[in-house]
Amino acid sequence: MGFDAATSTLWVAGVSGVDVLNARTGAFIDRIDTTAYGQINSVSIHNGVAAFAIESTVRTNPGVVTLYDTSTRALLSGASPITVGALPDMLTFTKDGSKILVANEGTPSTYGPRLADTNGHRNYGPAVNDPVGSVSIIDVGTRTVTHTATLAGVQQTGTHIRTNTGMDVEPEYIAVNAAGTKAYVTLQEANAIGVLNVQTGQFEKVIGLGAKDFSLAGNRIDTRDNGTINLTSPHVKGLYMPDGIAVYERNGQTFLVTANEGDFREDDEDRLAASNLGATGDLARLRVSATDSSAGDLYAAGARSFSIRDENGNIVYDSGEILDREAIARGIYDDGRSRDKGVEPEGVEVMDINGRTFALIGLERTLKAGIAIFDITDAANSSFVDMIVSDGDLAPEGLKGYFLDGSYYFAFSSEGSNTTSVYKLAAAVPEPETYAMVLSALAVMGAMRVRRRR
């Protein structure tokens, strides 16, 4: 989702194109049909230019980026489609608008074959046709790809990088620092973040994100989908496997904010019920990673939280059990997802409001759309503020905060309900302990379907 300040419009990517909506009223303005190029996955806007990431009808073939004028809503004069990698899933401008970075996920249609197990872990070989995961760097001035950054042979740090899943590393989402010099790319299925030098067009390192211990205090999860919600502290770990990522800066330090959704292969061959590894009772049905787990050492997908990390990947803050717990308190927790990934935090948006910084976390798997709000001004001492529960919306996907007519707004498109909603935010923040955020619904905008691979 993109916001254009010049025209006060929201641009929302759907299956067959982009809906342009009035950012004040939610009124439908126009639909831009992109089916001639393929299936659109992402839109980003800067200074009157809207960039669309579009995958080929054969998703293992190269995709394209198209550029539009936000005033005329027509293709930018003289701009031809720019060829990028396979399955461009997300794109973003650098802050100065000089470059566009495109996450080419490159998902195979058929995964690699299963090999012999190692210490109880499944292993898979490379797929026959697996496009290389990459990030394309587009020079906006020349409208050309100047670099295609790949991850083979890049230095690895951290732990629990998944490399035996039968697929190449797949870039998912990109956040760029304020200076436009570094980009942080989530490699969701690999449980890692790639650090990209935007100037050289090469990845500097891949950071393994480790695992979260659900047995520790404050990290409880519900492992049963039996109709009774019960948060416990099982001897299970969760691979963070973030989807959305955002960055912000405080006191000269860059922080990475990740929504730790978790994900398995599309064919689910890399997941098992924990009972297959000897688990019994409440753990028997818990879905775990077949490539990481063994008897007595279980790893689930996702951390059921959002995290703040420093540039080296060290955790500064993790929300622990707060997302699940607050969804339960509001009656929107979906117990049917307990054995999988809980509320599945997927998207994150960071907003500066009245001198404080807030993270808004979209929860994909709740009974009504849930957006958790945290004050992250002091990263290490971040605190839960409130949760938007939005009737009529389900499975928020794209999140966008913006400032218009002297007010702050927050918009989100919901995959499950095919809607887009906008909230006006009013914040009074005398002290972190006493501030309140007042939210008033403005409109449910024109129906659209936001695509997400499953």
Per-residue three-class SS string for 105-118: CCCCCCCCCECCCE
DSSP tag of 77: T
β pairing state of 356-363 and 369-375: antiparallel
Q: Residue 122 carries which side chain, given as an amino acid letter?
A: R
293: Cβ contacts below 8 Å, ≥ 6 apart? 120, 121, 272, 274, 277, 299
The span from the CA of 208 to the CA of 62, in Å, is: 28
Q: By three-state DSSP, how is residue 335 classified?
A: helix
HSE-CB of 77 using CA atoms within 13 angstroms: 3
Q: Give the pLDDT confidence score for residue 427 in this predicted structure.
A: 52
Q: Give the pLDDT confidence score for residue 426 in this predicted structure.
A: 67
Q: Give the pLDDT confidence score for residue 424 in this predicted structure.
A: 85
- Contact in structure between 132 and 168 (CB atoms under 8 Å): yes
Give the closest residue to 68 by CA, choosing from 23, 135, 7, 24: 7
Q: Give the pLDDT confidence score for residue 197 in this predicted structure.
A: 98
56-104 pLDDT, tens digit per residue, is 999 999 999 999 999 999 999 888 999 999 999 999 999 999 999 999 9
- Contact in structure between 68 and 34 (CB atoms under 8 Å): no
- Contact in structure between 87 and 136 (CB atoms under 8 Å): no
Beta-strand ranges (E) seen in 47-177 are: 49-55, 62-69, 74-75, 82-86, 88-93, 99-104, 134-139, 144-150, 156-159, 173-176
pTM above 0.85, yes or no: yes
Q: Give the pLDDT confidence score for residue 26 in this predicted structure.
A: 80
Residue 313: Cβ-neighbour burial (10 angstroms; 0-12, 13-18, 19+)? buried
Residue at token pair 């587009």: 138
- Contact in structure between 413 and 450 (CB atoms under 8 Å): yes
213-233 pLDDT, tens digit per residue, is 999 999 999 999 989 999 999
pLDDT beneath 50, residues of the chain: 428-454
431: Cβ contacts below 8 Å, ≥ 6 apart? none
